[in-house]
Amino acid sequence: MRLLRLQESQNDHKAEQDAIRAKHEREAADREWRAKELEKKKKNEETVEMLKQARRQQIDTREHYQAVQAQRERDEFQRILNNQTLKAQAEKEEDQSRHESNLRHADDIRKQIRDREQERIQKRREYFEESNRKMAAEIEHRNKLRELKVKKLEDLRRAGVPDKYTAEVARRVLDDSQKPLQPLHKK
């Protein structure tokens, strides 16, 4: 019995040892499982974080590309706007220059017209003045001739030429066409 008890005690001890070993093995397996789960969770978190970073980097890259593209478009728009502004300014200056040239040309033509009109008026005035001078010279010439005829008639009368001979000369001298002429009045 003692042996039996000893054997049972050894069996109990062995069972106890087996139970402790089994418990340790379960705990070790649990620890290993928890460590694997923790590592899996950690890997998942790292993967998620890596994906988040990759996504963030992708978004940043896309935003940077969009910003660069937008800047290029702004630069292109500004370049086109500057070109159009310069062209518009050049056209405006050309129009202004053409307008000023047209005004100068119109002024030149008006001046030429005025000059020609003044020249025509001057020539007409000179023509009338020349005509008046010629007429005045003609009148003066006729008056001198009449005075000369009258003087000759008086000389004939003083010389004692009878009236019957001088009457014809007097009639011609005093004829209406031989009356003293009056100069034209200038207007």
Q: Would the pTM of this model clear 0.85, i.e. be above it? A: no
**Could you say which DSSP state residue 174 is in?**
T
Q: How far apart are CA 14 and CA 26, in angstroms?
A: 18
Higher per-residue confidence, 47 vs 7: 47
pLDDT band at 135 (very low <50, low <70, confident <90, very high): very high
Q: Which residues contact 139 (CB under 8 A, 6 or more apart)?
A: 181, 182, 183
Give the per-residue pLDDT at 179. Answer: 52
- Helices H, strands E: what count in the chain? 2, 0
Q: Which residue is it, tokens 């069972």? A: 15
Quickly list DSSP for 84-129.
HHHHHHHHHHHHHHHHHHHHHHHHHHHHHHHHHHHHHHHHHHHHHH
pLDDT at 185: 46
- Residue 67: Cβ within 10 Å count: 10
Query: Residue 120: its pLDDT value, please?
Result: 94
> For residue 183, what is the DSSP state?
P
- Token pair of 173, please? 């001298």
pLDDT tens digit sequence for 32-90: 999 999 999 999 999 999 999 999 999 999 999 999 999 999 999 999 999 999 999 99
Across 139-144, average pLDDT: 90
Q: How far apart are CA 155 and CA 159, in angstroms?
A: 6
pLDDT digits (tens, 9 = 90+) for 82-124: 999 999 999 999 999 999 999 999 999 999 999 999 999 999 9
